[in-house]
Every structure is written in C-alpha cells, then in structure tokens.
Amino acid sequence: MSDPRTQDPTCPALTLSRHEDVTAALADPALVPPPATPGPYGTVAWLRSTVARFSAGEPHARRRALVVADLERLDSVELRVLAAGGFEPDLRLRVVRTLARALGLADPEAVARDVKAVARAYFEPAPDDPAADAAVARLLPAMGDDDPETAANRIGLLVQACEATASLVEHARRSGGGPAAALRDDPPVRAMRRFAARATEVGGVAVPAGAHVLLDLDAAREPGREPLAFGAPPRLCPGRAQAMVIAEGILYGSSDPADTSRPAAEEPLAQDELAALIPEMIDHVLALADTWTAWDGRPFRADGRTYTPHKAIRRVTDHLLDHWAELEARLAGEPAPADHWHASNVTTPADLVPFTTADLDEARSRLTRLGRIWSLRVAALPEPQLDDSPGTGWSFRHIVCHLARAGLYYADSVGPIERPEAAR
C-alpha cells in the first residue's frame, strides 16, 4: 500500500491520515484554512472573509478573542437547561435557538432559521446564494452589536454550532453512546482542509507553498488518542465544552451530568412496549398486594428505610401522579409543579395500620386507572417526543422507565407475605 501522505508531484495536493501528522499539521502556522474571497458587506462571502475560522495570523487571534468572549458569557447549567427545553425535530434549529437564547439575542427562532440558511453556503465556496446572502443581512442587526466584526463572528459561532453540534447529537443517537463516545467512534467532522501559506514539512514530507492539504480525521482516529473533530491546539475549537453541554442537554435533559441518580440511557423500546411498562409494573405490584392482607404489622427494612403495604402503595401512587403532573405541564409549556411528597423518608401513622381486603380493592381501582392513563398518554405522544421531550428534566422515555423500576422496587421492598399456618 502506498504511503497515504504521498502527493502527486504534478498537483500541489496532499492528504494526511496519521494521527501524529494531522496533529502536526493543525499546529503548523504555515498551514492555514483556505483563505476566503472577500465580497460585498452583508453577504456570505463577506462573512467568510471576516470570521476567525477562515483567518490566520493577527486577524485570527483578534477574531477568535471575540468568539471566546461570547462563549465565556455562557453559563453551562443554563445552557444545558435551554438545550433540554422545547420539542424541535430539527436539531440544527434547536442548537442555534439554544445558543441565541443563552447569548440574549432577540427572536431566537428567527435567528435559528436564518443561521440554518447561511450554513449551507458557509463552509465551502459556492456560487452566489441570494437566500443565504439575505439571511446574513438580516442576522447582522440581530446580533446586538454595532461592530461588524463582532457581529460577523457571533454569526460564525452560531453557524458552526448549527452544523457541528447537531451532527454530534445525530451521531450519538446513531451509535447509542453519548457525545464523548460519538467523538471517538463516529465523529461528526470527518475532514479538515488547510492551505500552505509558505513551504513547510509535515511528518518528513515536504509541503510546497500553495499546496492544498486534506486532513483525514476519520482515518486519523486511534484508540487512546485525543479525538480531532474539534481540531487541536493552537486552533482547538473554543466552543468544544459548550457543544458537549448542548448535546448532553438534548440527549439527556437538564439533570446535572455529575448526578449519579440520573438514569442511564434506556433501551430503545418500541413505543407500544414502552406504553405497556407501567401497566406491567402495576400488575406486579397488585399481585404482591394480594398477599398483603396477611401482614402482621411489622415493618420491613430496605436500604435503610421502612416500608409497609400501605406505604408501598402510597409511594407507587404518588410517584405516578407526580410524574404525570410533570409530563402534562411540560407538554403545555408550563414549569413542572413542585414535588412536596413526604416520599419514603417518612412513615406516617396511616402507613402502619392493617392492610385489609377493602384497602386492596381501593389500591386495585386506583392503580389500574393510573396505569391505563399512562399507557394511553405514552401511546399518543409523537414518537420522537419520547426522547426529544419538551421542558427541563429527564426525557419522557426515561421517566416511564424510571417509574416502572421504582414501582417494582417499592413493592418488592415488602415482597410476598405468607399467611400464618394457623390461618390457612
């Protein structure tokens, strides 16, 4: 096999595909992004010639500082909450809307639509695109800054997030792993291009001035080596951390990623299977509860807490009601109501009374109806909304799976109760 770094001497072009060569090329000041051709103010060509991405030397340093200043204004917790909120099947619109809101821009929805229109003409030189040019012209006054260079680089930040972050989410979903796994195994950026502003050498291969260099990031992936989808120093993408936060917010909701109580990624059950989870959990609870009329009044201990038949039924019921109220509020665009249940931390006097046949009948009626409500609600949701759920918090898929597991836990903390021999 020929050396992948070998170039055709009749054509000043070179492909680099080894990790160490790509990293060296990204660090070489002689290798710069292909320069953009300037155009009239307010067009895509003007934008490309004014942003950090297509600049080198002092203009790049100055423009990159503008982008970094914008990124430093963003709070990661707020960014994750904004990313988690609102159902939007078009990930590119959702990513840009999230950043536009975090930056305090007016009319984030309009900004997102215009940024998406610009993105298709931004990354590669192309014939004139009047619609994209018109979008740039609308975006400039919407950036909230009268300095054209500042406004241009804010647009550039949004455009690059539009494509790269949305692709990161798509690849994470496709691979079944998180954003970090997607960067390693299925990177959203497969290649970068560089232009030799002057003669240089990479990995022992001479690169003449004027050569175009393709950096094959996909081929350069190596186990244990830093993924290169966000570049490498000194031009490492300054928005890497924010892109990861937005991706995690879209994928997992607004819960703290360091919180070990948040659910892991769920198995991708079909919608009808997911809709059946809570009724199946309730069938298990009621099968155990059918034995609880034999309870002798002595509480059970589980994980340092006290459980009784009444308490187990209370916790299953309250949990179903709490998350049902959350789901309906989020679908209506309202904040979820606060949870004031005493939960498992408190054992009430009512939890300690005998569990009678009448109590069993009440529990069966209550829980069966709640199970039916959940089943119908889950089945009626648009399927994408199970994972891309509006509002802040866990996705609806996570909530359903969490409710099913928790209900089994409460019931199993009491378990089946044997009737005393003398009463049989």
31-32/205-207 β-pairing? unpaired
**C-beta separation of 343 from 312 below 8 A:** no
Go through the chain and tell me how many residues it has.
Answer: 424
Q: Are 218 and 191 in contact (CB under 8 A)?
A: yes
Helix/strand/coil for 389: coil
Q: Are the C-beta atoms of residues 64 and 52 closer than 8 Å to each other?
A: yes
Tokens of 31: 């290798």
pLDDT at 338: 75
Per-residue pLDDT of the chain (424 residues), as tens digits, is: 333 333 434 445 799 999 999 999 999 999 999 989 999 999 999 999 999 999 999 999 999 999 999 999 999 888 987 887 766 778 999 999 999 999 999 999 999 999 999 998 998 776 789 999 999 999 999 999 889 999 999 999 999 999 999 999 999 888 777 889 899 999 899 999 999 999 999 989 999 999 999 999 999 999 889 899 999 999 999 999 999 999 988 887 655 444 434 444 445 689 999 999 999 999 999 999 999 999 999 999 887 789 999 999 999 999 999 999 999 999 988 888 777 766 677 889 999 999 999 999 999 999 999 999 999 999 999 988 888 888 777 889 889 988 998 899 999 999 999 876 645 4
Strand-pairing partners, residue 202, are 205
Look at residue 176 in the predicted model and tell me its pLDDT: 72
Q: What pLDDT, on the 0 to 100 scale, is given for residue 116?
A: 96
The whole-number pLDDT of residue 264 equals 47
Q: Are the C-beta atoms of 238 and 154 separated by less than 8 Å?
A: no
Say which residues have a Cβ less than 8 Å from residue 50's Cβ, sequence separation at least 6. 63, 148, 149, 152, 153
Rounded Cα distance between 155 and 112, Å, is 10
pLDDT at 255 (0 to 100): 52
- pLDDT at residue 80, rounded to an integer: 86
- How does pLDDT run across 155-191, given as a tens digit for each residue? 999 999 999 999 999 998 887 778 898 999 998 999 9
Structure tokens at 33: 């992004």
